[in-house]
Amino acid sequence: MSGRAALLLGALPLAFLLLFFVYPVATIVGLGLGGASGSGLADPPAIWLDRRTIDVLWFTLWQAAASTALTILAALPGAYVLARYAFRGKRLLRAAATVPFVLPTVVVASAFLALLGPRSPLNDLAESILGPGQRPVRLDGSIWAILLAHVFFDYAVVLRLVGGVWSQLDPRTEEAARVLGASPWRAFREVTLPLLRPALTSAATIVFLFTFTSFGVILVLGGRGTVTLEVEIYRATAQLLDLRLAAALAIVQMTAVGLLLIVSARGAQRLAVEQRLRPDAEAAPSRADRRGLFVIALTVIPTALFLGLPLAVLVERSLAGSTGYGLHAYAALLDERAHRALFVPPAEAIANSLAFAALTSVLASVLGLLAGALIAYRRGWLATGFDAVLMLPLGTSAVTVGFGFIVALDEPPLDLRTSPLLIPLAHTLVAVPFVVRATVPLIRSIEPRLREAAAVLGAAPRRVWREIDLPVISRAALVGAGFAFAVSLGEFGATLFIARPDVPTVPVAIFRLLGQPGALNFAQAMAMSTLLMLLTAAAVLLIERWRAEGPSAF
C-alpha cells in the first residue's frame, strides 16, 4: 500500500479520535490543573491529598486487587478443565462462559441485585419457612456483592487468555517431572505455572483495569462506604456540579491507569518465557477417563451454577408478581402512562437504544474498517503506531470520556451538549477499538497468492479487489457492526453523563427504575435487563458466526 493510500485510509479515523478523544481528555487535564475548585479546596494538589480522595483511591485499588485475585482463583480450575480434557459440550461451555463478559454492566449489577437484594427469591423462600418479615439475604450495598459481580463479569477473561495458552502447552513437560518423582502440585508449581505466568499477567492486568474503572456494578450494588474514583467523578459532576473537582479526580484516575499499564508492560517483558506451543488437538487428550470425568463434574457444575444462577434469577424476577408469574412487567413497558421514573415511556427508551446502536454500528464500522484496512494492508511502524493510538480509549474510563464530552463540546462550532448525537458519538469512540480488533484478522486472512493468481490470469487490479478482497471485507463489516451494536446497547458510564432526561437508553432507564420504590418498578427493571441481555446475546451470536479464529483474533 502506498503512503498516499495509507494517509487517505487513516485520515478520517485519526481526525475522529483527535476531535472526540484527545481534545476532551486534554480539556479535562487543563480544567483539573486550572486553579481553585468549587469544592472549597485551594488547588488540585489539595484535592489529591485530601483525606476523602485518598480513601476513595485506596478503596478503588484494594477492591480491584481483591476482585482480580478472586477472579483468577475462580477461573483457573475452569481453564485447566477446558485446556486438558476433551468432553462433549466443551465448545458450548466455553461459549456460555463468555456470555457474562459481553453483558452490559448494568445488567450484571441488576442480576446480582435480584439474587442478593431484598427482593431475592432466596428471601421469598426464607419467608415461607421462617414466617412473615424474615428476609435475611441482604448483600446489596456490601463489598461482597461487588466482588461476586466482578468475578462473574471477568471470569471469561481468565478462562480465554489463560486457558488458550494452557491448551497449547506440551503436556509431556509436566509428565516428565511427574516421572522424575515430582508431586502433581510441585509439577504444576515448578513446570506449568512459570509457562503460564505471561498469560496470567495479561489476564490479571485486564481484570484489574476493568474492576479499577468499574462503574455500573459499583453504582447499582455499592453503598456509602463502597465508592470508587469512577463513581466519585460522576457524583462530583452530576450531584455537586463541581467540574474542577471531577477533573482533578479524573487526572488521578488516568495517572493510576497509566502507571498500571507501564508496570504491566515491564512485568510482561520480564516474565516472558520462550516456549513451544502445540495445537489444541495435540496438547489435549482425546477422551477423559473416570478421574477426568470426576474433575470435570467437580469444576463444571459449580461454575454453571455461579454463572447461570444470577441470569436465571434475573429472568425469574422479571416474571414474578404479587399475583403469581406472568408478563405484567413486560406489558408495563408498553404502557405509555408508566413513565414517571423515566420521563418517557419505557418502550421509547428501548427504541432510543436500538436507534443509537444502529447509528453506532454504521459509524464504528466505517471508521473501524478504514483503520483496520490500513493496519492489515500496511505493515511496519506506521500500522503498529496507528493501532496503538486507536486503542487509547480502551485505557480510559467511560465516565472520563462522558465527562470530557460535557466540558469540551460546549462551544460553537462543537456545541453538542444538548444534542442526542453525543450518545452515538461516545459509543462509536468506545466501539471502534473492538471493530478494529475484530476486522484486522479477517482482512489479514486473505492469502496474497490468491491475488497473484488472479493477476496472472489477467484480472485487473480493481476486479481482483472486487472478487477476492471485497467478500472478506464485507464479512469483516458484519463482524464490526455486531461488535459496535453490542457495545452501544450496553454502554452505561459515558451515557449516564451525556444522556438528556427525555432521551434515555435502556441501561440508563434500568438504573432509574432501580432507584424508584415499588415492586412494579423493580420488575420493569428486571424485564428491561432481560431484554437487553437477549439483544446482546443475539449480537454475540452474529459475531461468533462470522469472526476469524486465530492468535490475533479478538
Predicted confidence (pLDDT) at residue 301 exceeds the cutoff of 50: yes
d(CA 211, CA 206): 9
For the chain, how many residues are written?
Answer: 554
- Residue 276: strand, helix, or coil: coil
Q: Which residues of 310-330 are buried (b: 16+ CB within 10 A; e: fewer)?
A: bbebbbebbbbeeeeeeebbb
The DSSP line for 162-190 is HHHHHTTS-HHHHHHHHHTT--HHHHIII
Q: Dmax over Cα atoms in the chain, in whole Å?
A: 84
- What pLDDT sits at residue 70? 94
Helices (H) and strands (E) in the chain, counts: 27, 0
> Which phi and psi angles does 355 have, rounded to 5°?
-65, -45
Q: How far apart are CA 176 and CA 170, in angstroms?
A: 11
What is the CA angle 404-405-408, rounded to 5?
75
Chain-centroid distance, C-alpha 543? 15
Beta-carbon contacts of 279 under 8 Å, excluding residues fewer than 6 positions away, are 168
pLDDT, one tens digit per residue, over 136-157 is 767 767 888 899 999 998 888 8
- Residues 307-312: what's their mean pLDDT? 85
Percent of the chain's residues with pLDDT above 90: 4
Report pTM.
0.75
What pLDDT does residue 550 have?
44
User: Closest by alpha carbon to 191, among 165, 163, 172?
Assistant: 172
- Give DSSP secondary structure letters for 40-77: S-SSHHHHHHSHHHHHHHHHHHHHHHHHHHHHHHHHHH
Calpha distance 172→276 (Å, rounded): 12
Alpha helices, DSSP H only, in 410-447? 422-444
| Nearest CA-CA partner of 94 in 25, 9, 174, 160 | 160
**Residue in the block written with cell 496507528:** 386
Among 150, 286, 310, 128, which residue's Cα sits nearest to residue 214?
A: 150
pLDDT score of 287: 65
Each residue of 194-252: pLDDT tens digit?
777 777 887 888 788 888 888 888 888 877 777 888 888 888 777 777 777 777 887 88
pLDDT of residue 400: 78
CA distance 248 to 45: 9
Which of 546, 426, 539 is CA-nearest to residue 486?
A: 539
Q: Distance (Å, rounded) from C-alpha 512 to C-alpha 341?
A: 6
Task: Give the integer Cα–Cα distance in Å for 362 and 161.
Answer: 30
The predicted-structure confidence for 539-551, as pLDDT tens digits, reads as follows 766 665 655 444 3
User: Nearest CA to 62 among 211, 204, 199, 262?
Assistant: 211
Q: What is the pLDDT of residues 59-105, one digit of tens each?
A: 888 899 999 999 999 998 888 888 777 777 777 777 777 778 777 78
**Domains in the chain and their CATH numbers?**
1-20+327-554 (1.10.3720.10), 35-319 (1.10.3720.10)
C-alpha cell at 103: 453483558
Mean pLDDT value across residues 369-386: 73
CB of 177 within 8 A of CB of 186?
yes
